[in-house]
Structure 1
């Protein structure tokens, strides 16, 4: 079977399970580091003609990360497309199982069981109110119904914008600072927040710099994500 992945998380999941299946992946698919497949553009601008030329049996995608127009173009060219929807940790496990076992025809991998076990014991006693910027200029934050928001909730972090009508609202910085948050969570993707770029905008508010891959990717990184993120949150 030949599979093209349009999502870094799904690329890593397939590579960890049956790397020989991957015929192509995006330029943003950085894990595993030694992945040697045809690169077919980005998640938002894949080269549809190049994908079709690879003659894949299946293209795997995500309803949030990939554009419907590109997926429709692939289907129009006769390519089978499996689209995942991942907005909670539990949904990630279900969708990964569906992609690997139904879509790719593989046995359920041991790493997926280990990842599910790692998250089964996450039940915080309390929650710290926080804002979670994902971009600046303009400032954007996690809103409702996001995978990263569910990850943080399971680790004892309450997103103060979790009930916002939008999933990734633009919020002026003065409003963020006065939102009632007791913590600012700054992941290093999609915007590369760092110790010198981000915390200075929230004077007097503790900042936690998190691994974006462990916060937003759903794949083998889920195994170590609880320990990695808890350790990073404790440094705030």
Structure 2
């Protein structure tokens, strides 16, 4: 145990992925810096996920930098690699990926990985639309972590078959899809009450509910409890 703790405390990690930052801290890793979107005010930040300060990261001399295929840009990964830094790049698009990543990060910091299992829940059995942006209105397809999580909850995502991973949609198209529920996440877009009125007017037969965007889109250590919280939020509908 002491040896594992030493490895964790000595390995200097910079994380450019909010989900991984949260998970690493949960695992007891020595995260020396992260992005301003990671919501870890006790840590220094090195810019954003799409525009990290490469020079600041190099100056920290981390043992490893954590990135993600979707969250971060290839050119930044290339610049960090050219600077001689070791990278760990995740690629999370399913619930299974998220649970496996917890084990991968545990192994990375010298711990002993333990299996992570998604809690079983009673299938909700509702069709659902999830807006993630406005101007233009956008949603998620079935090829995303959020969709995989909703599928585990027993929800049918009405935009699952979209060609784009994050398709643009028109509100009249959403109305034609007739979702039982419009689940409005708290991020990445900050929807206000006026936006909810737009959604309600376009789909008067749909129930509109606000949900925690981090529970829906952040993966890793929060995943098991996020499943329970989202199920509690959606199941009464």
- TM-score tier, shorter chain, comes to 0.7 to 0.9
Asked if structure 2 preserves the Cα contact closer than 8 Å seen for 1:208 and 1:235, the reply is no
Distance 1:129 1:174 in 2: 17
User: Which residue number in structure 1 is paired with residue 120 of structure 2?
Assistant: 121
Asked if structure 1 preserves the Cα contact closer than 8 Å seen for 2:102 and 2:221, the reply is no
User: Which residue number in structure 1 is paired with residue 186 of structure 2?
Assistant: 188
1:136 aligned onto 2:125: no
| SS at structure 2 position matched to 1:45 | coil
Question: Deviations along 1:143-167, whole A, 9 cap, x unmatched?
Answer: 1310000111111211111111111
Q: Could you list the runs of 5+ residues in structure 1 that have no partner in the other structure? A: none
User: Which residue number in structure 2 is paired with residue 228 of structure 1?
Assistant: 229
TM-score, length basis structure 2: 0.88
Q: Could you list the runs of 5+ residues in structure 2 that have no partner in the other structure? A: 1-10
| SS at structure 2 position matched to 1:141 | coil
**Deviation at residue 235 of structure 1 after TM alignment:** 5.5
1:209 aligned onto 2:210: yes
Q: Would the alpha carbon gap of residues 199 and 82 (structure 1) be closer, same or farther in structure 2, given more than 3 Å must change?
A: farther
Question: Deviations along 1:117-151, whole A, 9 cap, x unmatched?
Answer: 4x242362x63122111011110001131000011
User: Which residue number in structure 1 is paired with residue 113 of structure 2?
Assistant: 108
User: Which residue number in structure 2 is paired with residue 169 of structure 1?
Assistant: 167
Query: How many residues of Structure 1 are paired with residues of Structure 2 in the alignment?
Result: 224
**Deviation at residue 194 of structure 1 after TM alignment:** 4.7
Asked if structure 2 preserves the Cα contact closer than 8 Å seen for 1:142 and 1:168, the reply is yes
CA RMSD of aligned residues (A): 1.8
TM-score, length basis structure 1: 0.88
